[in-house]
Amino acid sequence: MEWCDDRLLLLDQTRLPLEVSYISCSTAEEVAEAIKTMKVRGAPAIGAAAAYGLALGALRSQSSDRKTFLSEIEAAARILGATRPTAVNLFWALERMKGVFRDAGEAGVPELKQQLLEEARLILQEDIKMNQRMGKFGSQLVPEGARILTHCNAGALATGGYGTALGVIRAAHESGKEIQVFADETRPLLQGARLTAWELQQDNIPVTLITDNMAGYLMKKGMIDLAVVGADRITANGDVANKIGTYTVAVLCREHGIPFYVAAPFSTIDMNLEKGDDITIEEREGSEVTTVFGQQIAPQGIRVLNPAFDVTPNHLVTAIITDRGVLRPPYKDSLQKIFIDSGK
Ligand code: MRU
């Protein structure tokens, strides 16, 4: 995503890999729509886009009265916050933006507008740096020649840049390790086939695409050394919400004695929720299951379930790779420690 001439440019992820095109958002409502329709997706990218969305809401405000201006920003935050419920980064970013006017003293409307835009810029830039730090920590867990399974897209596309799970993979590749990636296609919306495969191919990182139901076969054949995925929300006990199918990968890893790693920045950790069962799981349109690229593939009128995420219980997670270091179980303690250490 890029800020250009007072607009937010977003690479339209629904069109990849067939078309590389951008949409231009000039209002908070347009950004909210782009998040809802997954033109921009992936937990940290949703957070950064929402921050810019709020900045757009501020910049477009005609109000010179501080109180009216703030109530307009609150309204824009509500619209952006109602887009997707599972990724905590969305709410984290909106809270951080609201912190700007809580800390702004008597600043007037023009200054507040600039401060909000600056905060959105910082959120985006800091996310890239966090991913690079995570990459350095995580790459130490990747052995030379590793064959790595990943699910969904936790790459540059899903973040400000570099990626979380794909950041770990990128860093291992950049350090000269001869790694290979297996990408689950990730039905229903095919983030693995469309986005992860595209992203890794662009960077010349060896990648092989498989359908989701092939992962167990590959593990049984001894073809996978580790799995690494991203996260949409990690609760205080280390339970992990991520793209539907992640739990299946974790269970398969446990059965085959394969390490299962989760890579996520600080902004994905939700210390306000005790456990995974407390996370709201987004349910999306059934048409995402019954169609592929607009083509009907199931009988008309069939009953469908479409939960977009699942929760992997902490006991299946070998380690959580964060920008503050690699956390090991018990996560209740290791997660709390990084929050205490950072003074949050
Ligand atoms: O529905 P999506 O495509 O937004 O889901 C994305 C994922 O589940 C990613 O794995 C997660 O957001 C981590 S991205 C660094």
Rounded distance from Cα 42 to ligand 1 centre (Å): 4
- Which of 184, 232, 239, 323 is an active site residue? 232
Write out pLDDT tens, residues 172-219: 999 999 999 999 999 999 999 999 999 999 999 999 999 999 999 999
The pLDDT score that the predictor gives to residue 344 is: 65
The pLDDT score that the predictor gives to residue 227 is: 99
Sites in the chain below the pLDDT cut of 70: 344
The pLDDT score that the predictor gives to residue 343 is: 76
Phi, then psi, of 41 in degrees rounded to 5? -150, 175
Is residue 163 within 8 A of residue 155, CB to CB? The reply is: yes
Residues 142, 125, single domain; the answer is: no
Q: Is 239 a catalytic residue?
A: no
Domain span at residue 122 reads 2-131
CATH of the domain at 106: 1.20.120.420
Q: How many domains does the chain have?
A: 2
Rounded distance from Cα 195 to ligand 1 centre (Å): 11
Write out pLDDT tens, residues 25-54: 999 999 999 999 999 999 999 999 999 999
Nearest in space to 68 (alpha carbons), one of 99, 27, 103, 112: 112
Tokens representing residue 278 in the block = 């407390």
pTM value > 0.85: yes
Question: How far, in Å, CA of 188 to CA of 224, rounded?
Answer: 23
Is residue 84 within 8 A of residue 46, CB to CB? The reply is: yes
CATH of the domain at 161: 3.40.50.10470
The pLDDT score that the predictor gives to residue 104 is: 82
Residues 122, 143, single domain; the answer is: no
Domain limit, last residue, from 102, 131, 160? 131
The pLDDT score that the predictor gives to residue 342 is: 83
Question: How far, in Å, CA of 217 to CA of 90, rounded?
Answer: 36
Residues 330, 184, single domain; the answer is: yes
Residues 155, 199, single domain; the answer is: yes
Rounded distance from Cα 126 to ligand 1 centre (Å): 18
